[in-house]
Structure 1
Amino acid sequence: MTTDPTPPNPAPAPAEPADDYLERRTLRRGSAGWLLLTGLGVAYVVSGDYSGWNFGLAEGGFGGLGIAMALMGVMYACMVFSLAELSSVLPTAGGGYGFARRALGPWGGFLTGTAILIEYILAPAAISIFIGDYVESLGLFGLSSGWPVHLACFVIFIGIHLWGVGEALRFSFVVTGIAVAALLIFAVGAFMDFDASKLNDIPVEADAFGANSWLPMGLLGIWAAFPFGMWFFLGVEGVPLAAEETKDPARTLPRAIRWSMAILVVLALLTFFASSGARGANAIQDAGNPLVEALQPDGDATALSRIVNYAGLAGLVASFFSLIYAGSRQLFALSRAGYLPRFLSLTSSRKAPYLGLLVPGAIGFSLAAATGDGARMLNVAVFGATISYALMSLSHIVLRRREPALERPYRTPGGILTSSVALVLACAALVATFLVDVTAALIALGVYVVALAYFGVYSRKHLVARAPEEEFAALAAAEAELERD
């Protein structure tokens, strides 16, 4: 059996834009090394260690969430190894969109890029609401959670991004370091009160299939907890979006992705066991601030709980800040290639995609101010994320099979088997989102339908052939044509 080496048909040839088109859409090269990128990968995720994951205890209990976390950890590990290879092959700002464009054609590229945008526009909006809640609970500046706090978040942190990518990544690195240090301090303090009997103290649902003290909601609870197991790792896949601003991306990106994932696995295990064992899974399953709750068995604040409370705010800021960065780069790449309106990819004199920052920021602020429903927006973001994971994993499989001779500075351990595991688990996680929040899943599907209509009717006929991701795909098509001749 032979495999057809011909890639999916390229998009219709567009009218070429002006000669200075790409010059007006250039990012600052060489601004980040592997250490800053590792910090970026951790920053995407670190807020998930401080809150959100614990709601999975209500879905599956300690055992159910633990198994879900392990399976989602395997999914992310397999996926990031696959992305490390893909990013060494195509180190551009398109990230997942660029990988899928080469493997699955324009439709596959657009589907992947849109899913990533859903994640990176909705997640910051949700986190801005959580930041407001923290500001209010800590009594900072006498403010209460509401639109002024949300607006301040977007204005201040988008302003730093507009200043320049180097400055932005260094700011993110410092704030992330504070949040990670506090997690380690928390774990030490919480383990001093660790009691294994508290891990499985959630009441058992007698009528749930397979229910026991470790799986109080039964076997189905494991599946329902998938989206919450993802919160320990959600966003780490955004590291390749920094490719065009990275020193030696073919070497730096794989290294940063692997280190980010390793750090996140350690933080996830420490947070999960320390929180549940210190206070009990039942006590923290519905807590908005589970780490602080775990340190206050009598409800009275301690010196350590206050430190963790402030660090939780730092963690939220780190994730908010880095997710804004990721969303702007994905939007930049899609619009530069013509999938979205081209003007969104214009860059400033400091080489920042200013409209790619301001437009998603305006959308995120509007959603936060209008709804105030951070949990719902995060569920929509998770739905988009799982679609992108499945398509990126599929892209790795397709490129390995169709283009085995493609130069790969880094190769995924396990090859297709690794990405196949990621694909299967991503599809399972996608279905699990319907178990948690059907409305959120339907909202995401609605956004998809509108986006696909725009692509099908207009933008697929106006793609920019000179965009890096499009040139990469065109080169594949030309090579396949030569092989046929």
Structure 2
Amino acid sequence: MEKQKVVRELKPSLKTIHLWGIAVGLVISGEYFGWSYGWASAGTLGFLVTSLLIAAMYTTFIFSYTELTTSIPHAGGPFAYARRAFGPTGGFIAGAATLIEFVFAPPAIALAIGAYLGVQYPGLDPKIAAVGAYIVFMALNILGVQLAANFELFVTVLAIGELLVFMGVVSPGFSISNFTANGWAGGDVLNHTAILGILGAIPFAIWFFLAIEGAAMAAEEAEDPRRTIPKAYIGGILTLTVLAIGVMIFAGGVGDWRKLANLNDPLPQAMKIVVGNNSSWMHMLVWIGLFGLIASFHGIIMGYSRQIFALARAGYMPGVLARVHPRFKTPHLAIILGGIIGITAIFSDELVTFGGQTLTANIITMSVFGALVMYIMSMLSLFRLRRREPKLERPFRAPIYPLFPLIALVIAAVSLVTMAWLNPLVFAVFVVAMAAGYGYFLSTKHLRDAAPEDEMLEGTGSLEEVTLQTSLVSTDD
């Protein structure tokens, strides 16, 4: 009896501009908060070194990752690439790591939303505000991908504009001497403390770019993914690199940067140094700055829901999570599950706050562990598929192959080992989570055996056949 084939129910309606908005929007909250913890570890100059190194990793990674995304435009993103390259176990490793990255990033962002609102409303509990954000944006994601993508594009453009305004407003108070003062942990670059600080700042430099790869999870909902995805990714990484370096330098040069380290709202506090507490510029930054956090929060909800959906559809999670809302054509149960996990993390201070780090810092570190494992698996999948499937249609090929994917792979691997050494408790939690997932994976082979056949995962069908199926679903809708 022939096995049933996957029916792609996600509606393809996203254009290049939407995908660019998702790619940038997923990440842009990293320019508003989180990165300042890197100053606490490495100093301004040390963190600049870390950030440039990580920017090199992401640039080479995105140019390489785009080959996978355009060759295999699947909602599972990294899970699909590793599944096709290394089989079910490879798919599990990449899928579970991606899920940890995307499920643990939103609670950190939600807490930052609460911190930003706290500037305007000092009596507001940040955790209550964070839960409210979850409820609102889970609902928006359930209402439809076109509505969600248009909203994402709108708030992303506003957030970019606000970062440019921030740099312009604080520029009169900028001094390079402020930025370089105490710029190295321990006093100078050659000491042991400075080197450890640079290494310890890796997760916070990654936070500048974390989750840009999530746009790949909208590939099944993209119009002509072979053409639109490369444009969106290349434009996205260039946009984010310029903004990250600009924001970090301008914020660090307005006064004593040490007062901004370990804060969830470094930009309003930096602007306050220049324009004062009651300036209309400062209040505008708080309100419009929320759009940057909202863009990432909203976009990552979209990303984690597609990952859960794809894993469930392939038999890696309970099949009920692959259900699509009959009216809105969105994976509503997957959206809700990720929200429940995120809200639980927000209220688990005693579990998440340890090792001398804040709740937000530990959540960021946990998310980064997932990201680094996924990056490593994705680059290994690229090398493997180049060898195993030389005839696979590749609308976009990684430039300067194999150098670009090799650079991304090496930096990601070194970063993972370094972070595990410097954050042993968070790494232990990550390992336990992956091990628990693997136990579930081993005990549920029957779910994968019963799952519909997916040409993109198995490599049994051509890209043209899959694209035709997707377009037929769109026409029927």
State if a TM-score over 0.5 links the two structures. yes
Sequence identity, in percent? Answer: 33
* Deviation by residue 1:83-129 (Cα, 9 ceiling, x = unmatched): 11111111111111111111122111110011000011111122222
What is the aligned partner in structure 1 of residue 161 from structure 2?
Answer: 181
81-90 or 197-206: bigger deviation: 197-206
2:403 is matched with which residue? 417
1:413 match: secondary structure: coil
Q: Normalised by the size of structure 2, how large is the TM-score? A: 0.89
Query: What is the match of residue 40 of structure 2?
Result: 58
Does residue 167 of structure 1 match 2:150? no
Instruction: State how far apart, in whole Å, the 2-side matches of 1:143 and 1:59 are.
Output: 29
Letter in 2 for 1:366: T
The aligned residue for residue 479 of structure 1 is none
Return the alpha-carbon distance in structure 2 between the equivalents of residues 220 and 208 of structure 1. 12
Deviations 1:440-460 (A, max 9, x none): 221111100000111122237
Q: Contact 2:41/2:185 (CA < 8 Å) preserved in 1?
A: no
**How many correspondences in the alignment?**
452
Indicate yes or no: 2:174 matched with 1:191. Answer: no
> Which runs of at least 4 in structure 1 moved beyond 4 Å after TM superposition?
203-209, 473-476
CA distance in 2, matches of 1:288, 1:340: 34
| Distance in 2 separating the partners of 1:206 and 1:49 | 26
* TM-score, length of structure 1 as denominator length: 0.88
Asked if structure 2 preserves the Cα contact closer than 8 Å seen for 1:44 and 1:319, the reply is: yes
Which is further off, 43-52 or 288-297?
288-297
Q: Aligned residue for 1:308?
A: 285
**Alignment match, 1:3:** none
1:151 aligned residue (125, 131, 134) = 131
What is the alpha-carbon distance in structure 2 between the residues aligned to residue 63 and residue 76 of structure 1?
20
Q: CA deviation at 1:468?
A: 4.1
| Structure 1 unpaired stretches of 5+ | 1-14, 477-485
- Offset at residue 60 of structure 1 (A): 1.2
Aligned equivalents of 2:456, 2:86: Cα separation in 1: 12
The answer (yes or no) to whether the contact 2:174–2:254 under 8 Å persists in 1 is: yes
Once residues 460 and 441 of structure 1 are traced to their aligned partners in structure 2, the CA distance between those partners, rounded to angstroms, is 31
Structure 2: runs of 5 or more not aligned: 353-358, 464-477
1:114 is the counterpart of 2:96: yes
In the alignment, which of 347, 358, 364 is matched to residue 369 of structure 1? Answer: 347
Given that 1:50 and 1:289 are in contact with CA atoms closer than 8 Å, whether structure 2 keeps it comes out as yes
Instruction: Using the TM superposition, give the Cα deviation of residue 222 of structure 1 relative to its aligned residue in structure 2, in angstroms.
Output: 1.8
Instruction: Say whether the 8 Å CA contact 1:176–1:315 is kept in structure 2.
Output: yes
Task: Determine the C-alpha separation between the residues in 2 that align with 1:38 and 1:380.
Answer: 26
Shift of 1:369: 2.8
Q: Which residue of 1 aligns with 2:86?
A: 104
Give, in angstroms, the shift of residue 301 of structure 1.
4.0
Say if 1:466 and 1:201 are closer, same or farther in 2 by CA, change over 3 A: same
Residue of structure 1 equivalent to 2:9: 26
Q: Does 1:472 align with 2:459?
A: yes
- Distance in 2 of aligned mates of 1:150 and 1:221: 31
Q: Deviations over 1:322-374 (max 9, x none)?
A: 00000000111111011111111010122101111111111111221333833
* Structure 1 residue 253 displacement after superposition: 1.0
1:351-430 matches, cutoff 5 A: 351-371=329-349, 373-430=359-416
Q: Give the conservation status (yes or no) of the 8 Å contact 2:309–2:331.
A: yes
Deviation at 1:221, TM superposition (A): 2.0
Shift of 1:36: 0.7
Q: Work out the CA distance in 1 between the residues paired with 2:245 and 2:141.
A: 32
In the alignment, the residues of structure 1 paired with residue 189 and residue 298 of structure 2 have an alpha-carbon distance, to the nearest angstrom, of 42
1:331 to 2:308 alignment: yes
Residues 312-321 or 457-466, more deviating: 457-466
Among 262, 266, 281, which residue is 1:290 paired with? Answer: 266
Question: What are the superposed Cα offsets for residues 135-186 of structure 1, whole Å, 9 maximum, x if unpaired?
Answer: 222118x63223x423321221111111100000111111111111100001
Q: Distance in 1 between matches of 2:45 and 2:183?
A: 13
- The structural deviation recorded for 1:409 is 0.8
| Alignment-derived partner of residue 202 in structure 1 | 182
Q: Which residue number corresponds to residue 317 of structure 1?
A: 294
Q: How many angstroms apart in 2 are the aligned matches of 1:321 and 1:401?
A: 37
Instruction: Between 197-206 and 397-406, report the one with greater CA deviation.
Output: 197-206
Q: Is the alpha carbon distance of 1:338 and 1:284 closer, same or farther for their aligned partners in structure 2, counting shifts above 3 Å?
A: same
Partner in structure 1 of residue 470 of structure 2: none
Q: Cα RMSD (Å) of the superposition?
A: 2.3
Instruction: Tell me how far 1:239 sits from its aligned partner.
Output: 1.0
Partners of 2:85 and 2:367 in 1: how far apart?
A: 24
Q: Are the structure 2 counterparts of residues 207 and 254 from structure 1 closer, same or farther at C-alpha, using a change threshold of 3 Å? A: closer
CA contact (8 A) 2:51 2:205 kept: yes
The equivalent residue for 2:71 is 89
Kept in 2, the 8 Å contact 1:61–1:217? The answer is: no
1:447 aligns with 2:433: yes
Q: By how many angstroms is 1:475 displaced?
A: 8.0
Q: Confirm or deny that 1:281 pairs with 2:257.
A: yes
Between the aligned partners of 1:384 and 1:455, the Cα distance in structure 2 is 17
Deviation at 1:245, TM superposition (A): 0.4
Aligned to 1:9: none
